[in-house]
Amino acid sequence: MKTNYHTHTPRCNHAIHDERAYVETALAAGFKILGFADHVPYPYEDGYVSPMRMRPDETADYVDTLNALKHEYRGEIDIHVGFEAEYFPALFDRLLEHLEPYDYEYLILGQHYNTDERTGSYNGVPTADRAALDTYVDECCRALNTGAFTYFAHPDLLRFTGDESIYRAAVRALCREAKSCGVPLEYNLLGLHTGRHYPQRAFWEEAAAVGNKVIMGWDAHQTEGLTIPDTEARAETTLCELGLTRIKTPTLIRPRR
């Protein structure tokens, strides 16, 4: 059964194709479940408008559009409504308050920035700074312990270029925390297909040693992202080699304030 819970929309300002196009593509590709998790609209108190996520005033249209499609395509494909969110400690409660009135089903954790998008650094930039690694692991562990997240998207996003033994020890602790919290880790197919620095072999070797459960995420930013040739098979081969257990249908978690 083909499933994906990580699909974006043009509201995030770096994806294309509308929701119906994704649904039709998913149906043609044999998907049984399609979950949308566009970048969450963090409601900044100072009115800051993020260039990489939907605006707060777009939340209702996003949720309503997807729930209408869920009803329209009922019996053909299961559509789920979610968001991909960073854990920004000072802002997270405000985010949950903003989302509370809307009929959505889940959050996935995608820690693109540390501390805060406005003042922190992007975690995909190469760094040999151990403090950056420690901050990433600490904030992700805190996020996992909120109980708010269905799974952890591209958990190997941090691009640490320092001593590999330091990296392995840090991500081993992160993997243990994810396992303790019952949160699956996402093996990101977009990163695999486009040759990004993730999936990182060292990370997944540590995840295998810990025994984490794994879910594949297409992280689709265009309809073609659901039809990437051979990428799923490549990922399956790697997960099998490492002895990692893949799940296809996670328990969806809608966080409570």
Q: Which of 238, 149, 250, 240 is nearest to 189 (CA)?
A: 238
**Beta-carbon neighbour count of residue 245 at 10 Å?**
11
How big is the CA angle at 243 (ends 242 and 244), to the nearest 5 degrees? 95
Strand order in the sheet with 213-217: 2-4, 31-39, 78-85, 106-109, 151-152, 185-188, 213-217, 245-246
Distances (CA, A) of 246 to 25, 142, 191, 206: 23, 24, 18, 15
Full-model pTM: 0.97
Res. 46 pLDDT band, cuts 50 70 90: confident
Alpha-carbon span 190 to 188, nearest angstrom: 6
Alpha-carbon span 78 to 32, nearest angstrom: 6
Least confidently predicted of 67-71, 111-115, 151-155, 163-167:
111-115
Q: What is the pLDDT of residue 119?
A: 86
Q: Per the omega criterion (within 30 degrees of 0), is the bond before 199 cis? A: yes
Q: What is the pLDDT of residue 187?
A: 98
Q: Give tens-digit pLDDT for 225-256.
A: 999 889 999 999 999 999 999 999 999 999 98
Alpha-carbon span 190 to 179, nearest angstrom: 24
In this predicted structure, the answer to whether residue 257 has a pLDDT above a threshold of 80 is no
Q: Give tens-digit pLDDT for 96-125.
A: 999 999 999 999 999 999 888 998 889 999
Res. 162 pLDDT band, cuts 50 70 90: very high
Q: What residues form DSSP beta bridges with 217?
A: 188
More confident residue, 45 or 189: 189
Contact, 178 vs 155, CB < 8 A? yes
Contact, 174 vs 152, CB < 8 A? no
